[in-house]
Every structure is written in C-alpha cells, then in structure tokens.
Amino acid sequence: MGTFRILLVAIAAAIGGLAALPAAFAQQAGTQFVGVLSYRVGPYGANGAAFFSGFLDYLALVNERDGGINGVKLSWEECETEYNNAKGVECYERLKTRSDSGPTAIHPMSTGITYGLIDKVPGDKIPMMTLGYGRTDATDGRVFPWVFPILSNYWDGATGIVKFIGDKEGGSDKLKGKKIVLLYHDSAYGKEPHPVLEAEAAKLGFELKMIPVPHPGNEQQSQWLQIRQYKPDWVILWGWGVMSATALSTAQKVGFPRDHMVGIWWAGSEIDTQAAGPAAEGYYAASLNLAGKDFPVIKDVEKFVYGKGKGGDAKLVGTVLWNRGFAAGMFTVESVRTAQAKFGKKPMTGEQVRWGIENLNVDQKRLDALGFGTMVPPLKLTCSDHGGSGLVRFQQWENGKWKPASEWMSGDRAMIRKMVEDSAAKYATEKGITAGCLKG
Amino acid sequence: MFYREAGQFKTTYAADQALFPIRQDRHAMIALLAIAFIGVPLFASEYWLTALLIPFLVFALATLGLNILTGYAGQLSLGTAAFMAVGAVAAYNFQLRIPGMPVLLSFVLGGATAALVGIAFGLPSLRIRGFYLAVATLAAQFFIPWLVTKVGWFSNYSASGVISAQPIVILGHAVDTPQKKYLLVLAIVALLALLAKNLVRSRIGRAWMAVRDMDVAAEVIGIRILRTKLTAFAVSSFYCGIAGALYAFAYLGNVEPDGFNLDLSFRILFMVIVGGVGSVLGSFLGAAFITLVPILLEVLLTQGALAFNLNLESGVTSMAQLLVFGALIIFFLIVEPHGLARLWQITKEKLRLWPFPY
C-alpha cells in the first residue's frame, strides 16, 4: 500500500508537471533572443562544448562591451540536443516560440539535425546558418532561401583537400595513378563529400577507395588493415568526435605516416589531436578558421567577459572549435546588424534576419575593425550564393599546436557550383519548389 | 464509488465480448478519443503537437509493433528500428517511383514491405529462441541501414543518403500544418491500435500467446509453430513499417538511414518493458514515459535552476536529467516489474473498492 501511494503521487506530480510545461519563460522584452541548439553531453559533447562556448562568449561580449547591437541587448537560451536528430527537432520547436521575434538564426552544429530542420525553417520563417557543415547544395539560395551554409561547404573542403594533396605531390597533374583513401564517418556527414571526390578522381585520374567507419568510430582495426593492404599514398580523414583520434592512433599502430593524412575541418581540432597524443604529430587538417589567441577581439573577451566571470570555460579560448563558434557568433551578430540598418534599431524577426544574412558583407576592413583580423576569411553572400568564400586553410599539428601549413586556398569552385545547382534543382523538382529570390 | 460495475448486466454474448465490457471504461475511452481528436488540435500549441504528441504517437505505434512480437508471441527482437527504416524507405520510393500514388496506400505498401522483410528475418526464429534470436534480428538492424546507404537507388542518389519525404497530400488536400499531421497520425495509430486490440483476442492472438507460454504444448494442441511465429513477425514489422513511414513523413521530413540505429531499437524495447510486456495500453504508456518524461525533467531542471538563480551550463542539467531518468526507470521496474500497464490495472482494482477498502 505504501509504495502504491508513493507511485500515485509520483504519477500525479508528473502529470501536473507536464501540464505546466508550455508555461515558457517570458524573455526580457526588447532583446534580440537567440535560440541555441547546443550539445555538451554524448559522444560529441567535447566538440560541442568548445563550439558553443565560443558562440555564447561572443554574444556575451557584444552585451558587455557594446551594450548590445545598436543598443538592443542579446538574450539567449540553450537547449541540449545531444547530437540527436529527434531531440534537435524538439529543441527547435521549444525555442522557436520563446520570443516574439523568433530565435534569430539557428546553428544546429549537426548535419543530421540540419536535415531534420531543412523542411521546417521556410514555414516557420527562421533562418538557419550552418557554418562548414550541413547540406551542401543549400548553397543555392534560390532553392533554399532560409539555409546558409556559410564560409565553406563540404565540397569546398573535399576539393580543397585534393588540391592541397596535389600541391604536396608537386602539382595536380602528379595525382594521376596515385591512390587516395577516404576514411569516413558512416552518416550523412561522412557521405556528403562522395560525389565531388568521385568527380575529382575521374578528372585527375587518381584511384579513390572509400572506407566507412560506423558511429561512433572508436574501433577501427579492420578499416586500417584494409588501408595497409591497399597501400594508399594519402588518407583523407572525414571523422568526427572520438573517431578522429582513434584513426590517428590506429594509423600509428599500423605504421601509416601521419603526414600523409589530411583531415576535414571537423577532424582538425585540439580535441582530436590531443587525445591521440604523439600519434598526431605531423597530421594535416583543413580549417575554416585559425586557432590561437593572437587576435585583438580575444583580448576583449578576456577583459569584458572572462574578467567579469561571465565566460564559459577559459581553457577552451583560442582552440580551433572555440574560435569557430566565436566566429559563428560574430556572423550572426553582423547579420542582425545588417538587418537593423534596413529595418531599424529594434529586435529583428526571422524574416528580417534572413534578409540581413543574405545581404551580409563582412570584408577584410570590417574583420579588422571587429578585431578578427585573419581568423576567418571575408564573407559576402548573395541570393544565389549562400555559401561565401569557399576558402580553406591547412594546418599541421606540431609540438602540441596547430601551425598554418598553407595560405587560404580554394578547390575547384566551378565544378562545385555546377554540381550544387544540379543537385539543388533535383531537390526543387522532388519537393515542388519554384526557385527564386525572396523579396526583402 | 464511481467505478463499480454492479448493475451492469450482460444479456448477449456480444456484450460480454465487447472491447471494454465495463461501462465506465467505455465512457472514459470515448472521452479520451474525443479529447485527442477534437480538444487537442483546437488547444494544443505547435510545440506540443510537433515536438511531443506526434513523436509520442509514432513511437507508441512502433512499441505496439514490438509488443506484438515480444510481448504476445514471445520472440525477442532488436531489429525494430530496421523495420521502421524499411517502412520509411519503401513508402518514400513508392511515392517517388509511381506517379499518382496515394500517400496512404504507399504507407500501407511500406508497411507490407516491412512485413516481408520481417518474415525473412523471422525465419531463424523456428530454430533459435531467446537471446540467440535477438542476435539474429540484430543482423537486420545492421544490414538494413547499411544496404540503404550502400545502394544509392533507395535514397534516389541523394548525396548524403538522406531521404526527404514528399509532402503529404490526401485526395488533393495538403496535410501540411501540425494540426493536420497530428490528426493523420492519430487516426492511423488509433485504427491500428483498435486492430491490434482485436487481433490479440482473436484465434491468431491466442495462438501467439500459446507459443509464447510453451511452444511444445502449443504444437501438441495443433498450433502450427512456423506459421504462428511468422505471422507475428509479419504483423509486428507491418506496424513498425507504418511507424517508420510516419516518422519520416509526418515527423522529421528528412531522415538519414543512420537515424534508425540500434539506439532507437533499444529505446523501443525499453518502452515495451517499462510500459508492460504483452499489453496494448502498456505500449502507449511506455512510449509516453520514455519520450515525454526526459523532456519534462529537462524543463523542470532548467527552470528550477533559473528559479534558484543557479547558473548551470546546459550540459549539467542534461546529465542530471539522464541520472534522474535512469533512477526513475529502475524505481518503476523495482516497484512494478510488470510495467506501467500493470500499475494501471492495480489502480483500477483499488478504485472499485474506493473509498471503503476492506
């Protein structure tokens, strides 16, 4: 009888709690509310924590140093997605109603969640920014007006890596007859570069072998035995989370030279290389942004945010992913600022922010003024190009630090553009979308 | 006092065999359906519909499917998510390849395809049972997502293997708002639940239970084991297939085959165990518990932290939520190993005597 009573009370409490669920917290009126779909737990939690700390630190910096964007303060709420698609959708639905002006712009930081939301954002009029991940053909803004795969997309990354390998071999023509392995995370993310790498292999005449690693990728013995038998000249590592570090240490075990391994930017953070220890020495990785603290804006963060005890984890500042999240925050804030120049100095709605992103122009002068310098390349977007520069820069892991190993460079942009348009057109017919630019 | 069947006389066999023989149950069910079909779409917010109720219903359907196989026919399966994937991919391809295909028919065909695949993977069940059968169904769990990603045709050669479900149009009427999607899912789930409730009381259902309780004895009294086990696999996979199609079409819109992974299969198995093995009601209770309670906990923890002015990182509340949720599952399983459905049954028995228990 006793436990039964307790149970009844527990059930009643649960039902009561559920009924109270929609009673959302009213956001402070007059602020620009930012909905943050973050993840800090789960197999990719370490990567997410670094990115989202950077993102939130930038928002805090704008509040603390400038008093908001043109006087409009920023407010935000985090929702933990655990890198899980269904939870991501739940978080999105939860955060989109939190404020009258909507959640500004969504950064899902997960290709899977991006796919889950891609059909929802046009109806809800919420822009989605995917910085270096997500659906590549969304670069064609005439078919995907609400999605912005800014900076560089996966196909830029893949062709950039091929070009980098070509440079190392002494020219792209030297790639003929070479053997390249793509070791990829077996998910939408890992499959994204396949078409463009196949096209590159056909064009440049290298042999391509694609080897999947199942999620989460902490066991790669059989994959590396395959690689050892195949004896490739280069391995492209399309890893994420624990998979990248495991690849590096397994490569060391089977004796594959790490300076012939090139990772995509998600396999190129300190989290990956430090976990691999000395096995990571000499490993190259593409990057969208430079690591390090030698930028004036980071001095500001240390003074205004961490100095006041309002920052995240101080150890993360200056790491690759923290800087990337920090830059994502900057691009979001600059989009709102661009929108405010047209619509007035008040909180911007999703539609207004979308206009702001589409007309975003952060040139080198603006980057210098913001104190970012060369941390990220300049970004200018248009209706038909939601991607931007497409530039990547390579880094090499040496003595426990990422060192730049190339200038900003880009791959075969003409080929990518054509493939993007073809793929977007196919999507448009499948979904019955008429391609075109949205008005203001 | 209120829940008492005294004075309700049954004068026909039909009345005695009714789905809900007690009048109060019948009225409660009608009221519940009326709320679900009329009240909820009128008053529930978009968040409730798209983020809580639609996934709850979809998972309830998948749980029902697994419960038919595991709870009623006694065949342990870890391939639920794979059968959902078959349903989703098949429905997508029927829509894509056959012009003018009605969407509901493609759901049914998706379910039928899943049923065929289920039969194929159910064949070993004649020889192996228990945990060994679970391992055999695990093969389905790894094979099907692999096949779908490997063969580009299934996802219409999408670069990343992601299936983007077509818009739902029924008789020229677009099902595009959360309310309409919810009603569609609710109607399908209610219909299939009614079917399941009747199926388990029928000759087929009794055969399943006979096989579950002791297959040798069942064979002796003339039940054909192979056919019984395979119908259980077929019906179960059909339900899972429809659930998968709804998951893709009415819930997420874009699904990657990778999303139908072992984690999802385990979640659905937990829904069966927490809800009640071998109970239609339990499938709904279990799905509600596993999908809704974590969200509730997270909201309560976040708001509690805000109320007490604790500046917690979102990661901390998530971890706390996982801990509390895990503890809750253990608590429920200790006090009632037969699941939430059994708890409800006990409640009903106590209600009969209330307020004067002896």
Q: Is A85 on the interface with B (CB under 8 A)?
A: yes
User: CB of A356 within 8 A of CB of A338?
Assistant: yes
Note the pLDDT tens digit of each residue in B318-328: 788 888 888 98
| C-alpha separations of B25 from B188, B207, B314 in Å | 22, 27, 43
For A51, list phi and psi in degrees, rounded to 5.
Answer: -60, -50
Note the pLDDT tens digit of each residue in B300-340: 887 777 777 766 666 677 788 888 888 988 888 888 888 88
Q: How many CB atoms lie within 10 A of CB A167?
A: 14
pLDDT band at B62 (very low <50, low <70, confident <90, very high): very high
Amino acid letter at B239? Y
- Best residue of A3, A81, A90 to probe chain B, by most B CBs closer than 10 Å: A90
In the block, tokens 């109806």 appear at A123
Residue B2 has what pLDDT?
Answer: 73
More confident residue, B354 or B197: B197
Percent of chain B residues past pLDDT 70, beyond the cut: 97
Six token digits for residue B181: 């999607």
In the block, tokens 């950039």 appear at A160
User: CB of B69 within 8 A of CB of B233?
Assistant: yes
| Angle, CA of B347, B351 and B353, to the nearest 5° | 130
CA dist., res. A132 & res. B357, Å (int): 66
Closest Cα in chain B to A188:
B160
Chain A residues with CB-CB distance to B96 below 8 A: 430
Q: Is A80 on the interface with B (CB under 8 A)?
A: yes
The whole-angstrom distance between A341's CA and the closest CA on chain B is 32
Provide the residue count of chain B: 358
10-residue block means of pLDDT along chain A (440 residues)? 58 58 55 90 85 93 91 89 86 86 88 86 91 87 92 88 91 88 88 89 91 85 91 92 90 90 90 87 90 90 88 86 93 94 91 92 92 90 87 90 87 87 87 77
If you write DSSP's letter for every residue of A228-296 in order, what string do you get? HHH--SEEEEE--THHHHHHHHHHHHHT--GGGEEE-GGG-SHHHHHHHGGGGTT-EEEESS--SS-SH
The verdict on a CB contact (< 8 Å) between B162 and A40 is no
Note the pLDDT tens digit of each residue in B86-108: 999 999 999 989 888 899 999 99
- Best residue of B50, B56, B84, B254 to probe chain A, by most A CBs closer than 10 Å: B254
Burial readout A401-416 (b: 16 or more C-beta within 10 A, e: otherwise): ebeebbebebbbbeeb
- Which candidate from B162, B319, B335 shows the least CB-CB separation from A188? B162
Chain A residues with CB-CB distance to B160 below 8 A: 111, 115, 135, 188-189, 191-192
User: CB of A361 within 8 A of CB of A121?
Assistant: no
**Helical pair B54-66 and B280-307, crossing angle rounded to 10 deg:** 140
Q: What pairing do the DSSP bridges indicate for beta strands A261-263 and A284-287?
A: parallel
- The whole-model pTM stands at 0.86
- Mean pLDDT score across all residues of chain B: 89
Q: Which sign, positive or negative, has the C-alpha torsion B330, B332, B333, B334?
A: positive
**Residue of A208, A173, A212 lying closest to A189 (CA atoms):** A212
Contacting A residues, span 40-59, partner chain B, CB-CB under 8 Å: 40-41, 45, 49
Residue B312 has what pLDDT?
Answer: 66
CA dist., res. B113 & res. B83, Å (int): 9
Note the pLDDT tens digit of each residue in B228-273: 999 999 999 999 999 999 999 999 888 888 788 888 999 999 999 9
The whole-angstrom distance between A439's CA and the closest CA on chain B is 24
Residue A201 has what pLDDT?
Answer: 92
Six token digits for residue A75: 């407010």
Residue A22 has what pLDDT?
Answer: 44
| C-alpha separations of A72 from A28, A33, A65, A75, A348 in Å | 11, 10, 13, 10, 10
CA dist., res. B109 & res. B244, Å (int): 12
| C-alpha separations of B210 from A216, B73, B203, B228 in Å | 41, 8, 10, 10
SS3 A179: strand
pLDDT band at B203 (very low <50, low <70, confident <90, very high): very high
- Best residue of B180, B262, B314 to probe chain A, by most A CBs closer than 10 Å: B314
Euclidean distance between the first and the last CA atom of chain B, given in angstroms as a whole number: 14
| Most distant CA atoms of chain A, gap in Å | 81
List of residues 6+ apart from A388 with CB closer than 8 A: A150, A151, A152, A377, A379, A380, A381
Q: What is the DSSP letter of B50?
A: I
Q: Please give the average per-residue pLDDT across B275-283, as a whole number.
A: 92
User: CB of A153 within 8 A of CB of A209?
Assistant: no
Amino acid letter at A431? K
In the block, tokens 């199942």 appear at A214
User: CB of B199 within 8 A of CB of B19?
Assistant: no
Model-level ipTM above the cut of 0.90: no
